[in-house]
């Protein structure tokens, strides 16, 4: 029989251990998210999957909205990356990375969300990729590269001027709702000097010629990465309003107004 003193000492040790573990696991950090995103870029530029710390118990690879074998997907090939940019969502413990490869026989413009479970950025539980190439909607990687290279994505300062998580999510949702809701466009704070790059199609100001409803099918399968420091929201989705297309929509809000919109769409309308 254990003495009650020993029992309570053991209980204390167990509680301290549980507490210590909760401190270690509790925080999803920006540094951890970006470091995982850079490991993804390194793996992609070399075609070496071994560079990635994938969870051995809970890992899903999705390419163009279909769960598939990572060893047969985009990461199995190396691509020369001309431009990359990543954002981080410490609440969802997920990151968004876009990269462009404009040279070579198979050019790509790619948007990838990487997810981690239990705030543990040392392991990846999901790589969720939208990859557009030759033949997809408005695809021209060289043009897209030139437009996006010229953009300013510096961290929004001061911190008090950053758009909130709610504002960013609402802007992402309202944007995707424009095809089904005639009033959705009015809920978006368009900037007068805003630029929209859809595939390689450029529109400025981006608040011109907008859809005003008309489709009965809402754009579905929405997955979000929201980064207040960058003032950005990326939504991966299925563009059902125009016909089942795997899609990424990214919006950056600066000084309370939409500054950039990027879309990556796989397939063609109609
Ligand atoms: C993950 O980290 C975020 C940000 O630090 C925190 O808000 C959230 O509660 C944490 N979630 C878990 C499951 O620990
Ligand atoms: C991604 O872009 C950064 C500059 O923003 C660059 O230093 C880095 O080498 C790029 N990564 C890859 C894999 O091309
Ligand atoms: C696996 O990870 C996902 C996040 O990518 C999470 O939603 C899910 O709950 C995890 N499942 C298990 C069994 O841990």
Query: How does pLDDT run across 147-203, given as a tens digit for each residue?
Result: 999 999 999 999 999 999 999 999 999 999 999 999 999 999 999 999 999 999 999
DSSP state of 102: -
How many angstroms separate the CA atoms of 219 and 222, rounded? 8
Structural domain includes residue 76:
yes
How many angstroms separate the CA atoms of 190 and 196, rounded? 11
125 ligand 3 Cβ < 6 A:
yes
Last residue of a domain, one of 149, 182, 206: 149
Last residue of a domain, one of 87, 119, 149: 149
pLDDT at residue 6 tops 60: no
Residue nearest to atom 1 of ligand 2 (CA): 84
DSSP state of 27: P
User: DSSP letter string over 181-222?
Assistant: -TTGGGGS-EEEEEEEEETTEEESSTTSS---S--SS--EEE
Last residue of a domain, one of 115, 149, 183: 149
Ligand 3 centre to CA of 118 (Å) is 8
DSSP state of 70: G
Structural domain includes residue 3:
no
Ligand having the closest approach to the CA of 123:
3
pLDDT band, very low/low/confident/very high, at 8 (cuts 50, 70, 90): low
How many angstroms separate the CA atoms of 115 and 102, rounded? 27
Could you tell me which residue, 18 or 107, shows the higher pLDDT?
107
Predicted pLDDT at 266: 97
CATH number at residue 126: 3.10.450.50
Ligand having the closest approach to the CA of 29:
1
How many angstroms separate the CA atoms of 94 and 205, rounded? 30
Q: Are 186 and 257 within one domain?
A: yes
Structural domain includes residue 121:
yes
Instruction: Give the total number of structural domains in the chain.
Output: 2
Q: Are 168 and 108 within one domain?
A: no
Predicted pLDDT at 21: 55
pLDDT at residue 93 tops 80: yes
Could you tell me which residue, 13 or 105, shows the higher pLDDT?
105
Q: Are 135 and 186 within one domain?
A: no
Q: What is the pLDDT of residues 254-269, one digit of tens each?
A: 999 999 999 999 998 8
Q: Are 175 and 134 within one domain?
A: no
Structural domain includes residue 17:
no
How many angstroms separate the CA atoms of 11 and 1, rounded? 15
Residue nearest to atom 6 of ligand 1 (CA): 91
Q: Are 97 and 168 within one domain?
A: no
Structural domain includes residue 21:
no
Ligand 2 centre to CA of 85 (Å) is 8
Q: What is the pLDDT of residues 39-48, one digit of tens each?
A: 999 999 999 9
How many angstroms separate the CA atoms of 142 and 140, rounded? 6
Alpha carbon 143 to its chain's center: 21
Kindly list the distances between the CA atom of residue 166 and the CA atoms of 160, 170, 242, in Å, as whole numbers in the listed order.
Answer: 15, 6, 27
Structural domain includes residue 7:
no
pLDDT at residue 24 tops 80: no
DSSP lists the bridge partners of residue 95 as 88, 114
Ligand 2 centre to CA of 50 (Å) is 19
The answer to whether the CB of 241 falls within 8 A of the CB of 177 is no
pLDDT at residue 131 tops 70: yes
Instruction: Show Cβ contacts of residue 7 under 8 Å, excluding neighbours closer than 6 positions.
Output: none
The answer to whether the CB of 187 falls within 8 A of the CB of 174 is yes
Q: Are 207 and 117 within one domain?
A: no
Q: Are 46 and 104 within one domain?
A: yes
Q: Are 37 and 144 within one domain?
A: yes
Ligand having the closest approach to the CA of 89:
1
Mean pLDDT of 50-65: 96
Q: Which domain holds residue 226?
A: 159-265
The answer to whether the CB of 202 falls within 8 A of the CB of 195 is yes
Q: Which of 22, 23, 94, 119 to mutate to test the pocket of ligand 1 (most atoms within 8 A of CB)?
A: 119
DSSP state of 244: S
Structural domain includes residue 43:
yes
Predicted pLDDT at 68: 97
265 ligand 3 Cβ < 6 A:
no
- The fraction of the chain above a pLDDT of 70, given in percent, is 90
Predicted pLDDT at 142: 97
Quote the tokens at residue 78: 């190396």
Instruction: Show Cβ contacts of residue 46 under 8 Å, excluding neighbours closer than 6 positions.
Output: 78
**78: Cα within 13 Å, side-chain hemisphere:** 9
Mean pLDDT over each residue of the chain, to the nearest integer: 93
């Amino acid at each position: 029989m254990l003495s009650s003193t020993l029992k309570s000492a053991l209980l204390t040790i167990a509680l301290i251990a549980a507490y210590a573990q909760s401190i270690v696991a509790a925080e999803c950090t920006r540094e951890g998210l970006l470091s995982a995103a850079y490991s993804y870029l390194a793996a992609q530029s070399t075609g070496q999957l071994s560079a990635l710390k994938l969870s051995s118990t809970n890992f899903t690879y999705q390419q163009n909205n279909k769960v598939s074998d990572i060893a047969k997907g985009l990461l199995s090939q190396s691509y020369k990356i001309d431009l990359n940019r990543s954002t981080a969502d410490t609440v969802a413990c997920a990151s968004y990375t876009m990269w462009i490869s404009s040279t070579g026989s198979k050019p790509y413009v790619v948007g990838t969300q990487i997810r981690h479970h239990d705030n543990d950025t040392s392991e990846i539980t999901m790589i969720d990729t939208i990859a557009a190439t030759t033949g997809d909607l408005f695809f021209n990687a060289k043009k897209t590269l030139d437009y996006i290279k010229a953009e300013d994505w510096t961290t929004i300062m001061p911190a008090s001027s950053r758009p909130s998580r709610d504002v960013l999510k609402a802007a992402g949702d309202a944007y995707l709702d424009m095809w089904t809701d005639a009033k959705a466009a009015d809920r978006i704070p368009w900037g007068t000097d805003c630029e929209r790059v859809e595939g390689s199609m450029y529109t400025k100001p981006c608040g011109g010629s907008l859809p005003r409803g008309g489709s009965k099918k809402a754009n579905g399968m929405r997955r979000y990465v929201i980064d207040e420091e960058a003032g950005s929201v990326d939504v991966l989705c299925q563009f059902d309003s125009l016909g089942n297309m795997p899609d990424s929509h990214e919006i950056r809000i600066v000084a309370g107004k939409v500054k950039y919109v990027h879309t990556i769409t796989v397939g063609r309308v109609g």
